[in-house]
């Protein structure tokens, strides 16, 4: 019985992936199906115009499936082609950088993998580590000196997975988004939150013909209490239950009345 399909959007060699694979494998049967390279900002995109190559790779003591596709591709191929049985759960992460706020959640390959799993009937958890790259651009957060940070994040994520799997999520929860402060430990406070409405601003800069991605870090100030960004600002672990029902029930009847009246 396969407990967990594990993936991410930073690639199987990313510094945050092995600690999570190792931690989850202590209590669960885990199969890793993961991009062979960095796939950030891919959202839930699916590859349709080229072949996808899957190769087995050795990652320390673990064998993983490395996929030349998006995180959502990994989930699709994992669920339908590679796994012998349906997993109980899909875990995506640990993403290097937070995915708090609706702009990030809807753009994130980490969250996108979880959404793909949910569409295919498997609930998921997407875990992201908040790294403030703008604090000091001379610090290499991928250096082995920071490895304990990723280990702590893996322990937090694994504990949350264990808690969630001990009692089934409600039917209206498809994906759980977890955002972890940079120096969080198992003693860090946890808050259940909603997704903040935020914009990430201008993403591309160019000369009118050629444009290049160059995003500035958006301000994290001024977000309401109870939101994921507010929790991170207060050094709290943010846990957000997400439903893929995109319908605005609040306005559906009002819109129907307007349309029927004016049609």
Neighbours of 118 (CB within 10 A): 20
pLDDT, one tens digit for every residue, the chain (263 residues): 889 999 999 999 999 999 999 999 999 999 999 999 999 999 999 999 999 999 999 999 999 999 999 999 999 999 999 999 999 999 999 999 999 999 999 999 999 999 999 999 999 999 999 987 555 555 666 777 789 999 999 999 999 999 999 998 999 999 999 999 999 999 999 999 999 998 888 889 999 999 999 876 656 667 889 999 999 999 999 999 999 999 998 899 999 999 999 99
Alpha-carbon span 230 to 224, nearest angstrom: 6
Q: Domains of the chain, with CATH numbers?
A: 4-262 (3.40.1210.10)
Residues 6+ apart with CB under 8 A from 99: 105, 108, 110, 111, 126, 128, 177, 179
pLDDT in tens, 57-71: 999 999 999 999 999
Alpha-carbon span 88 to 162, nearest angstrom: 12
Alpha-carbon span 104 to 197, nearest angstrom: 10
Residues 6+ apart with CB under 8 A from 40: 9, 10, 108, 109
Q: Of the candidates 228, 136, 123, 223, which has an alpha carbon nearest to the alpha carbon of residue 168? A: 123
Neighbours of 191 (CB within 10 A): 17
Measured CA to CA in angstroms, residue 245 lies from 147, 239, 252 at distances of: 37, 19, 13
Conformational region of residue 60, where left means phi above 0, alpha means psi within -120 to 50, and beta covers everything else: left
């Amino acid at each position: 019985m396969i407990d967990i399909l594990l993936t991410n959007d930073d690639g199987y060699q990313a510094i945050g992936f092995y600690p999570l694979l190792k931690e989850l494998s202590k209590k669960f049967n885990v199969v890793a199906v993961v991009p062979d390279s960095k796939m950030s900002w891919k959202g839930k995109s699916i590859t349709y115009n080229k072949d996808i190559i899957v190769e087995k790779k050795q990652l320390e003591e673990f064998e993983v499936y490395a996929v030349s596709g998006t995180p959502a591709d990994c989930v699709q191929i994992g669920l339908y082609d590679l796994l012998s049985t349906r997993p109980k759960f899909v875990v995506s992460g640990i993403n290097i950088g937070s995915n708090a706020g609706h702009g990030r959640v809807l753009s994130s390959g980490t969250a996108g993998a979880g959404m793909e799993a949910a569409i295919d009937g498997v609930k998921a958890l997407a875990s992201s580590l908040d790294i403030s790259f703008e604090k000091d651009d001379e610090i290499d957060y991928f250096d082995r000196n920071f490895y304990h940070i990723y280990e702590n994040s893996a322990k937090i994520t694994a504990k949350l997975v264990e808690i969630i799997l001990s009692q089934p999520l409600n039917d209206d929860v498809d994906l759980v988004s977890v955002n972890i402060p940079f120096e969080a430990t198992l003693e860090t406070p946890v808050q259940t939150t909603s997704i903040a409405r935020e914009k990430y601003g201008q993403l591309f800069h160019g000369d009118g013909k050629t444009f290049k991605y160059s995003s500035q870090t958006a301000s994290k100030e001024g977000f309401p209490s109870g939101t994921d960004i507010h929790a991170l600002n207060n050094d709290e672990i943010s846990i957000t239950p997400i439903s893929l029902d995109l319908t605005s029930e609040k306005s559906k009847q009002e819109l129907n009345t307007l349309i029927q009246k004016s049609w």
